[in-house]
């Protein structure tokens, strides 16, 4: 899959000189041309393994990514209802 990014959901995390918890330009939530979403955040897969709820799994081609609550809540108005 070659993703095509349509837009960022929520404000730029570095607007007005804001600092983010990660080393490089994240977190971000992006809408893809397919209508799906991509998340850029801090990879916490190794720390999450063995601690996920009983019915949650993370496959070998997946990663558990942490984003601050504020990133998701600020993006809420941009997330389609359907």
Q: What pLDDT digit, counting tens, does each position of 43-54 carry?
A: 999 999 999 999
Domain assignment of residue 46, given as a range: 5-78
pLDDT at 19: 67
Reported as a single tens digit per residue, the pLDDT across 37-80 is 999 999 999 999 999 999 999 999 999 999 989 889 999 999 98
Across the range 5-11, mean pLDDT stands at 94
Contact indicator for 27, 39 with CB cutoff of 8 Å: yes
Q: How many domains does the chain have?
A: 1
Predicted TM-score (pTM) of the model is 0.80
Q: Check residue 80 and give its pLDDT.
A: 87
- CA distance linking residue 48 with residue 52, whole number of Å: 6
Q: Is residue 29 a contact partner of residue 71, using CB atoms and an 8 Å limit?
A: yes
Q: Is the pLDDT of residue 25 over 80?
A: no
């Amino acid at each position: 899959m070659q993703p095509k990014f349509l837009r960022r959901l929520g404000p730029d995390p570095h607007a007005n000189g804001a600092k983010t918890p990660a080393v490089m330009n994240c977190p971000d939530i992006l809408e893809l041309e397919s209508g799906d979403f991509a998340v850029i955040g801090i990879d916490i897969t190794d720390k999450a393994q063995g601690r996920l709820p009983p019915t949650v799994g993370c496959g070998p081609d997946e990663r558990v990514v942490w984003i601050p609550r504020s990133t998701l809540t600020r993006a809420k108005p941009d997330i389609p209802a359907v």
